[in-house]
Structure 1
Amino acid sequence: MSVLVTGANGFVGAALVEKMRERGLASRCAVRAAAQIDGCSESVEVGGINARTDWRTVLQGIDVVIHLAARVHVMEESAADPLAAFREVNVAGTENLARQAAAAGVKRLVYVSSIKVNGEETAEGHAFREDDVPLPQDPYGISKWEAEQALHRIATETGLEVVIVRPPLVYGPGVKGNFAQMLKVVQRGIPLPLASVHNQRSLVYLGNLVDALLLCATHPAAAGQTYLVSDGEDVSTPELLRRLGKAMGRPARVFLCPPALLKLAGRLTGKSDQVERLLGSLQVDSGKIRRELGWVPPCDLARGLQETVAGSRAK
C-alpha cells in the first residue's frame, strides 16, 4: 500500500510517517516547501494548498491519502476575513485534492478534521458523539465541517472512500501551543488558581492518534465513517497539571480561586477564550471506533504524559 501524507512535516504528520516507516509502509510526503522528513520514502513540494493546487503527479501510484495539511486554529488571527482564509485552504483545497485523488484512482482518503465540528464544550455527563448535530462556532471549526460535507459529496459522486477523524487536543513530544505553556508552568513551579475547577476534558496522545489514522486507512469497515478518538480517560484541568507534575517528578502548584472570578479576569484581560478552555468541559465518546474497528489506544494517559515530558526535556 502506497500512502500520500499531506502536512507530513507537521506535529502529527512527522509522527505518522515515522510510524509508517516502522511498519514498512511506503509514504510519499507532500509539504509546502522542500524539506527532508525522517521516515519518508519520498518528499514532494506542493506549495500552498488551495483550489488551484496541481496534485496529478503527486497522486500517481497512490492507494490512500491521509490529509493532515490545513490552515490551523490560531490564537491571534491576522487575516482580514478569517473565515475566507480558512475556507481557501481547508474547504476549497481539500475538495480539490479529493477530486483529483478520485480521478487518479486513489481508493481512500482519510481526513483529519477537528472536534470543533461538534462544538466548543460539553455539558456534564454528555460527551460528544459522531451522530451529534454539528455546532462549529469559530471559522476554523466551520471550515472543517464544510470540508467534511464536501468530501461526502465527492464520495457519493465518485466512489472515493472517505473516512473522517475528529480528534480533541493532541499532545505528545514536541507539542506546542497551550499544552506546551502548561508544561513550562509546571516545570517552573508557577502557582495557578485552578484548584476549584471541576471540569472534564478528553485528550488524545500523538501515538494513539497516529495508530487510529493508520487503522482508518486500511480497515474495510472504516469507509464512509466518521470517528471521534481519545485516550479514553478524561481529566480535570487541575488533575492534568498534577499528573504532569508527577511525570516531571515535581509537584504542580494549584490553589483555590472561584471560577467566576477567573472568568471575570478573562473578560477584563481579553482572554476569555483561553480561560474557558481551562474551565470548561469537552468530553469525547470514542466508543464507535473501538466497537467498529476494534481500536484500542496503545498508550494510556500516564505513559503519554511521561513521553511528552521526556520529549520536552530532550529539546
Structure 2
Amino acid sequence: MTSPRTGGMLEAPDLTLVTGASGWLGTALMHALTAPTGGWSRSGTIRPLVRTRVEADALRALGPNVRPVIGDLVVGSDLDRLFEDASGLVDVIHAAGVIHPTAVADFFAVNTEGTRAMLARSAGSVRRFVHVSSNSPFGTNAHPGDRFRADEPYHPYYGYGRSKMEAELAVTDAVAAGLNAVIVRPPWFYGPHQPPRQTTFFTMVRKGLFPVFGGGAQSRSMVYVDNLVQGVLLAELVATSPGRAWWIADARPYTVNEIVATVGRALTDEGFDVRPNRARVPDVVGRLAEAGDALVQRSGRYHQQVHVLGEMNKNIACSIDAARSELGYEPAIELYEGMRRSIRWCVERGSEL
C-alpha cells in the first residue's frame, strides 16, 4: 500500500458493498480485499452483489467475511437486500457496468439507472462512495500528444460514453446533496481475470493479425488491473474532498505500435511462436467503421466488433498527475510485465492463445 501525499488514510470500513464483484475489475478487487498479503485486506464484512449462485460460491470461498448477495443492480428488492442492516462505517465500491451489450438501451439501464439507484440507496448511510467510470465520457484526444487531465469537458463517445457521462453527472448531483462520493476513470485495462475478448487480442497478436491503423503512432493509455485496484482503493480510503475524480492508468501512455510489439515479445518470452504483425490498415477503414458504428447505434443496436474497430485509430490517453499528487498513486506494473502475468494467467486456466 502506498502513502497518500495529501490527506490522511481513513480507517477500513465495517462493511464494504461491491457491485460488479464478479466482473474483471470486481474479481481483482475481491481478491485484493481478502488477500492475506498485499496490504489491502480488511476484517470487516465484504458484501458483493453478484448475478448467480456460482459467482456467489466463488467469492464466498475467498474468506469468511465475504457475504455475497445474489441479485440485479436494477431490481429494487435486490438492492434492499444489499443494503440491509448497513450500519457503522459503510463504503460502496460501484464497479458494475455493461460495456458490450446487444442493445444501446442496456447501457443506460445499467450504467446510468443502476448508478442512480445505488446513489439513492447510499444517501445518509454510506461514508464513501467510489464510482468507477471510464474514458468514454470524454471521447478521444485531438492528437497523440494530448492528454485527458483532471478537469476535462465531456465529449461522450457514442452510447456507452453517454451512459457513463450521465452516471458521472448523477454522482455530481449526489455530492451536491451531501453524499461523500468520488470518481475513478480507468482507460483500457488488462491483466488476470480477463474476459474472452482480451484472450482474442492475444491470439490476434500471436498470429500477426492485430489491425494497426496508419503508422500505429496513436497514443493509448492502459492500466494493469492491479494498478487499477490500487487506484480504486486509494480513492476509497484517502481523505479527500467529495466530488473529486482521478484518471487511473499505467505510468505513461503507449503507442499502438509499442503495445503490439510488447505483447508479441511477452508471448515469445512465455514460449509462444509469434508471427510478425503485418496487419496494417488504412485510416479510412477506421473512419468507415466509426460511421457504421454510429448508424448501428442509432437503430438501437450495438455491434462489438464494429465499435472496437472504429476506436482503434483514435488517441485515448490521460495524465495521472492528479492521482499521484492527491492519492499517492504510483502504478507498480508496466506493460511488458503486466502482459506476461496476463498470459501466464490464461495458460494456467487452459485458455487457447
TM-score, structure 2 length as denominator? 0.79
Write the deviation string for residues 148-198 of structure 1: whole angstroms up to 9, x where unpaired: 1112212221x22101111101100232354322201233x3345638322
Whether the 8 Å contact between 1:216 and 1:222 is mirrored in structure 2 is: no
What aligned pairs does 1:88-167 form with structure 2 within 5 A after superposition? 88-103=109-124, 105-157=125-177, 159-167=178-186
How far 1:261 moved relative to its partner?
A: 5.9
Partner of 1:275: 309
Secondary structure of the equivalent of 1:247?
helix
Instruction: Find the counterpart in structure 1 of residue 325 from structure 2.
Output: 291
One-letter identity of the residue aligned with 2:96: A
Partner of 2:99: 73
Shift of 1:258: 5.8
User: Does the Cα contact within 8 Å between 1:8 and 1:17 map onto a contact in 2?
Assistant: yes
**Residue of structure 2 in register with 1:63 after alignment:** 90
Query: Counterparts of 2:320 and 2:191 in 1: how far apart (Å)?
Result: 19
1:143 aligned partner, one-letter code: S
Aligned to 1:6: 19
Amino acid at match of 2:17: L
1:313 equivalenced with 2:347 (yes/no) = yes
- How far off is 1:122 after superposition? 4.1
Q: How many residues align?
A: 306
Given that residues 209 and 279 in structure 2 are in contact (C-alpha distance below 8 angstroms), is that contact kept between their aligned partners in structure 1? no
Q: Which shifted more, 109-118 or 55-64?
A: 55-64
Answering whether residue 89 of structure 2 is matched by residue 39 of structure 1, we say no
Distance (whole Å) between structure 2 residues aligned to residue 191 and residue 54 of structure 1: 44
Structure 2 counterpart of 1:24: 41
Question: Which secondary structure does the structure 2 equivalent of 1:310 belong to?
Answer: helix
Per-residue Cα deviation, 1:289-311 (whole angstroms, up to 9, x for no partner)? 11111110122222111111111
Deviations 1:200-259 (CA, angstroms, capped at 9, x unpaired): 111001000001111111000253201111102222222211111111225451237462
Q: Which moved more, 1:8-17 or 1:44-53?
A: 44-53
Q: Secondary structure at the match of 2:123?
A: helix
Q: Describe the shift of the 1:244–1:252 C-alpha distance in structure 2 as closer, same or farther (beyond 3 A).
A: farther
Q: Choose 159-168 or 120-129, whichever is displaced more.
A: 120-129
The one of 328, 335, 338 equivalent to 1:301 is 335
Please identify, of 256-265 and 207-216, the stretch whose mean Cα deviation from structure 2 is larger.
256-265
Alpha-carbon spacing, 1:252–1:132, altered in 2? closer, same or farther (3 Å):
farther
Secondary structure of the structure 2 residue equivalent to 1:213: helix
Maintained 8 Å contact 1:73/1:140: yes
Contact 1:115–1:168, Cα closer than 8 Å, also in 2:
yes
CA contact (8 A) 1:167 1:228 kept: yes
The change in CA–CA distance for 1:67 and 1:232 in structure 2 (over 3 A counts) is same
Go from structure 1 to structure 2 and tell me whether the alpha carbon gap of 1:53 and 1:152 turns closer, same or farther (over 3 Å shift): farther
User: Are 1:247 and 1:306, in contact at CA under 8 Å, matched by a contact in 2?
Assistant: yes
Letter in 2 for 1:280: K
The 10-residue stretch of structure 1 (118-127 or 191-200) with the greater mean CA deviation from structure 2: 191-200
User: Relative CO higher for 1 or 2, CA cutoff 8 Å, sep ≥ 6?
Assistant: 2
Of 243, 247, 256, which residue of structure 1 is paired with 2:266?
Answer: 247
Cα distance in structure 2, aligned partners of 1:31 and 1:119: 30
Name the % identity: 27
Equivalent residue letter for 2:311: R
Pair 1:205–1:222, CA change in 2 (3 A): farther
Root mean square deviation of aligned Cα = 2.5
- TM-score, length-scaled by structure 1: 0.87
| 1:227 corresponding residue in structure 2 | 246
* Residues 233 and 301 in structure 1, CA contact (< 8 A), matched pair in contact too: no
Q: For 2:32 and 2:290, locate their aligned partners in 1 and report how far apart those are by CA, in whole Å.
A: 43
Alpha-carbon spacing, 1:127–1:174, altered in 2? closer, same or farther (3 Å):
same
What CA distance in whole angstroms lies between the structure 2 residues aligned with 1:113 and 1:45? Answer: 23
Q: Which of 190, 207, 215 is 1:171 aligned to?
A: 190
In structure 1, the partner of 2:208 is 190
Judge which range, 42-51 or 167-176, deviates more: 42-51
Partner of 2:200: 181
CA distance in 2, matches of 1:111, 1:130: 15
Shift of 1:125: 1.2
Are the counterparts in 1 of residues 283 and 313 from structure 2 also a CA contact under 8 Å?
no
SS of the equivalent of 1:227 reads strand
